[in-house]
Amino acid sequence: MWLTVSANAAAVLRVFAGMGLGLGAIVLLRGVIILGYAIAWARLLGGVATVPFSACLLLRWIRESVDVLLPVASIGGELVGARLLTFWRVPVGTATASILADLLLQATAQIAFALLGLALLASVAGIGVRALNAAAGVGLAALAIGGFYAAQRHGGLRRIDRLLAALAARWAVARPASGLRLQEGSDAVWAGRGRLAQALALHFACFMIGAVEVWLVTQFTAHPAGFGGAVILESLTNALRGFAFIVPAGLGVQEAGFVGLGYLLGLPPDAALAVSLAHRVPDVMLGVPGLLAWYRLELSRRLRAAR
């Protein structure tokens, strides 16, 4: 709100209102992105569980809705997705392992996308202090991703299995956790190299479609950006949101990223904030129905259990 007022709120709203039908187009693009994410997740699950693609699409939609609309530090959607996947008789350990692998591949694609954005930024604005700081941040993220991969592939989840078994032996309420077998589920998910490569490529393609979304939004302003500029805005703003994952929906973080990067690309603050605001329209337009779909799934399960 402070950024919007500082940039002239009336000017921001005028630019936003001028986008008109462009807002509908970016909602459709966001739907394509969710479809791509669902295909990637379905590929991971294909070798370990029998789940209809319609369920993967529905649950991926719900995951995105929870992450962008609820104060859950961008990880609540994954917890919800793992729980709902068990409604299709997928073991909890396998469901959780598929979510962890999906997150790792998405984060890996995001790092590659951020590196592309950094390279483009360096070609446009030169290699300055900002670019070096951003590169250092991406390097730290890559190290974290490496640790996340090692935990999944080299027995880290087995330690969690042992810890859960110890808790189950001590407290009766924790007994269901003793049968999770996270490492077993992870090994099964990671066994299909071809499926993993396809999922990774799909995640990267989805990030590129996100850049198309930003490019399209800027075409409805008085300062249209080229596709390279859209890639810079989307990739590095996404990276900022990833670093600040504890902030619900990246509120403020995304806006500051668009303003700061827009300044380097010649995009005025009012236009940059209008683009960020338009970027959030699909969050609401698709997120609210997604939350209602989650509610319906939970309610249907409770009604079946009652009967």
Contact (CB, 8 A) for 217 and 205: no
- In this structure, the dihedral spanned by the alpha carbons of residues 217, 220, 225 and 230, taken in order and rounded to 10 degrees, is 0
Residue 55 — pLDDT band, cuts 50, 70, 90?
Answer: very high
Averaged pLDDT for residues 36-50: 89
Which region among 85-94, 182-191, 210-219 has the lowest average model confidence (pLDDT)? 182-191
Could you tell me what percent of the chain has a pLDDT over 90?
30
Q: What is the pLDDT of residues 69-114, one digit of tens each?
A: 988 877 788 989 989 999 998 888 888 888 988 988 998 999 899 9
Distances (CA, A) of 249 to 159, 242, 273, 283: 31, 10, 16, 9
For 85, other C-beta atoms within 10 Å of its C-beta total 24
Q: How far apart are CA 187 and CA 157, in angstroms?
A: 10
Q: How far apart are CA 35 and CA 52, in angstroms?
A: 14
State the residue for tokens 């640790």: 147
Could you tell me what percent of the chain has a pLDDT over 70?
92
pTM summary value? 0.85
When comparing pLDDT for 216 and 167, which is higher?
216
Q: What 3-state class would DSSP assign to 226?
A: coil
Averaged pLDDT for residues 199-228: 91
CA 195 to chain CA centroid, nearest Å:
20
Which residues, 6 or more positions from 192, have their beta carbon under 8 angstroms from its beta carbon?
Answer: 44, 46, 47
Q: Fill in the DSSP letter of residue 51.
A: -
Residue 191 — pLDDT band, cuts 50, 70, 90?
Answer: confident
Q: How far apart are CA 90 and CA 30, in angstroms?
A: 28
CA proximity to 49, closest of 212, 209, 184, 177: 184
Helix, strand and coil content of the chain, in percent to the nearest 5, comes to: 85, 0, 15
Q: How far apart are CA 273 and CA 14, in angstroms?
A: 11
Contact (CB, 8 A) for 71 and 248: yes
Of the CA atoms within 13 Å of residue 205, those in its CB half-sphere come to 15
